[in-house]
């Protein structure tokens, strides 16, 4: 990513994949925090495509209580639309920047970015998002996108890149995970995905973890997609998320990760997800999302 790059902002105001309302307002909160203006000040050319049309829970019939894939059809429709738009934007040599919304949107954003090229995947999140309909305790699809993108999940979701898997598991890295479901943990152990837990970050430091992560993700021929969930940051610094987990990375560690991503020059697309303004304090989490995005897109201290 160089100064003067063309960046396409796409908002996806959906919360159907989550178990808690409010993240559908995330794109508005991030924009309100000055995202476009700050990117322009950094020297980038910004085109905001606005928000995708998304269904609301008030207008979407509830699935049966025992559903293992809650709101599968409307989420699949939104992700398919998003994947097409992201693929078109990427084909025009723009960098797609997708604002969530819950993390189910990454099924569309990452698949679309990988449709015409081979990308690695860096997933920075408190959760692994590696469930499927057999392992999920909730049925919430925002707990499934990483599994989907590596080939495990419902066929309405797994094929949006035009191939299955969308990303080779050996070129996928999960960073700062600290909250896993029991069956999800077993599935992750059996997979070829590289996992750096908070234990690894505590022992080795963020710089060492990110350097190895970037080596793995850039094995792909055409760079990598970044998916960043704000709940990876400790809730004392990012309170406005739907599934907070204590003991997360600091805002400074998050900035270092993003700065190293920028230095790699291999970032091809990113999504920023799970900002929940209802639970936030003075829009602090959305403002942090903007600052971290700027770091990923080239902002330096000096």
> Active-site residue numbers?
103, 125, 127, 129, 142, 229, 231, 274
Query: Could you tell me which residues are beta bridge partners of residue 272?
Result: 99, 228
Backbone phi, psi, residue 229, to 5°: -100, 125
Using a 10 angstrom Cβ sphere, with 0-12 exposed, 13-18 middle and 19 or more buried, the burial of residue 77 is middle
Nearest to 169 by CA among 123, 126, 106: 123
Alpha helix (H) residue ranges in the chain: 26-32, 35-41, 72-91, 106-113, 145-149, 155-158, 182-190, 198-204, 206-217, 251-264, 284-296
In this structure, the strands spanning 194-197 and 45-51 are: unpaired
Residue 212 is encoded by which pair of tokens?
Answer: 């190895």
């Amino acid at each position: 990513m160089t100064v003067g790059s063309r960046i396409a902002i796409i908002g996806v105001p959906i919360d159907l994949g989550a178990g808690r309302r409010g993240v559908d307002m995330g794109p508005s909160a991030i924009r309100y925090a000055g995202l476009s203006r700050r990117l322009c000040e950094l020297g980038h050319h910004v085109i905001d495509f606005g928000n995708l049309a998304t269904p609301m829970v008030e207008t979407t019939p509830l699935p049966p209580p025992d559903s293992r894939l809650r709101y599968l059809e409307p989420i699949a429709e939104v992700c398919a639309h998003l994947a097409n738009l992201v693929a078109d934007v990427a084909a025009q040599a723009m960098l797609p920047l997708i604002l969530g919304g819950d993390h189910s949107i990454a099924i569309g954003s990452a698949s679309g970015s990988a449709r015409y090229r081979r990308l690695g995947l860096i997933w920075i999140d408190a959760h692994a998002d590696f469930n499927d309909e057999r392992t999920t305790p909730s049925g919430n699809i925002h707990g499934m996108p990483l599994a989907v993108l590596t080939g495990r999940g419902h066929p309405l979701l797994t094929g949006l890149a035009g191939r299955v898997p969308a990303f080779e598991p050996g070129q996928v890295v999960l960073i700062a995970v600290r909250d896993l479901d029991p069956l999800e943990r077993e599935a992750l152990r059996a997979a070829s995905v590289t996992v750096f837990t908070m234990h690894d970050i505590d022992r080795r430091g963020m710089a060492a973890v990110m350097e190895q992560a970037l080596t793995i993700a850039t094995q792909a021929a055409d760079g990598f997609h970044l998916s960043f969930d704000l709940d990876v940051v400790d809730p004392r610094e990012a309170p406005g998320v739907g599934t907070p987990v204590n003991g997360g990375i600091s805002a400074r560690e998050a900035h270092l990760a993003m700065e190293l991503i920028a230095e790699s020059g291999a970032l091809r697309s990113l999504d920023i997800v799970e900002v929940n303004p209802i639970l936030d304090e003075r829009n602090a989490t959305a403002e942090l999302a903007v600052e971290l995005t700027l770091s990923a897109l080239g902002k330096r201290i000096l």
